[in-house]
Amino acid sequence: MTSDKLKQVTHIDNVRLSDDDCSVIIIDQTRLPNHVEYISLHTAQEIWDAIHLLKVRGAPAIGIAAGYGIYVLARQIESDNYETFLTEFHRQAEYLNSSRPTAVNLSWALRRMEQVVKDNASLSVPEILDLLGKECRAIHEEDIAMCRAISEYGLSLLKDGDGVLTHCNAGPLATSRYGTGQGPLFLAAEKGVNIKVFADETRPLLQGARLTSYELHNAGVDVTLICDNMASIVMKNGWVQACMVGCDRVAANGDAANKIGTSGVAILAKHYGIPFYVLGPTSTIDMNCPTGDDIKIEQRNPDEIKEMFYAEPVALKDVKCYNPSFDVTDHELITAIITDKGICRPPYTESLAKLFE
């Protein structure tokens, strides 16, 4: 594998601002891996749909898209009156925030952008827009640095020849550069550390099959795709020395919400004595959320189970479906939470709090 090949994967611009600042440009992740299609988002509806329909997904990438998105919408507000501008800005931010209730980076980025407006009431609207442009770009640049730091910390827990099982997608497509949950795997390849990866397909949207295996394979990483219900046997076979996953929200006590099926992987890892690591930026940690019981779990369309990716429905139309997007992994099952500011270990009520001191 050459470093140039890896750079083509890890430095892909999956979310960016257009050159004229009038639209958000994303890779439509629902079209991967067979079609790499860029789309431009100009309106509030287009941005909301892109986030809700998982055209852009992954907690950090959603935060980046939200920052760029609210900036694009702010530029469309036709008023130089500060109060009118603030009211409309807040309305648009609230609307975008309703697209995905579980991913904390969405609300985090929107609050951060709105704070710029509130902190600069004495400035003109054009001056505030200039500051908003700088802020959304800063969110993106900070994510690049955070992903590199998370990847470095995560790689410090692995050694040459290890097998790693991962769930869902928390690589470059879900973030900015290396990723979070899969970031150490890309960095390992870049540094010549040989890691064998087992990627769960991750039902029902198959982010592991469509995205994780796609990214890792293109980066030259030794990746094997498995069905979600095969995690136990590869662990029992001794092929897995660590589990690494991303997260959409981490509660103050260390409970972590991630793509549905993650908690099952953690339970299996506990049974087989395999360390289970959750990786994410500090922006994903919600210290205002006491436990995982306080995390709102998004319920999605049953058709994702019965019809998506199939030529014909695999179940009868009237069969009921339960389709939560996430589950919560209990903090007692998590060996460590790896952030851009360091590795946190139990008790998480103390180690996570120290990150924000």
Residue 222 contacts residue 195 (beta carbons within 8 Å): yes
Q: Which of 248, 255, 327, 340 is catalytic?
A: 248
Question: Residue type for 291, please?
Answer: T
DSSP string across 311-341:
SS-SS-TT-----BSEEEE-GGG-SEEEETT
CA distance from start to end of the chain:
42
**Long-range pairs for 118-125: beta carbons < 8 A, 24 or more residues apart:** 118/86, 121/82, 121/86, 124/80, 125/77, 125/79, 125/80, 125/81, 125/82, 125/85
Amino acid making up residue 223 = V
Decide if 248 is catalytic. yes
3-class secondary structure, 348: helix
What's the DSSP call for residue 132?
Answer: H
Distance of CA 33 to the CA centre of its chain: 18
Pull the structure tokens for residue 236: 């029992």
| The residue to which tokens 């430095």 are assigned | 11
CB atoms < 10 A from the CB of 3, how many?
11
Segment (H or E) for 139:
helix 125-155
Contact, 41 vs 70, CB < 8 A? no
CA gap 26, 17 in Å, rounded? 9
Per the structure block, which two tokens stand in for 317? 């139309």
Phi, psi at residue 244, to the nearest 5°?
-135, 125
Q: How far apart are CA 39 and CA 195, in angstroms?
A: 34
| Catalytically active residues, by annotation | 248
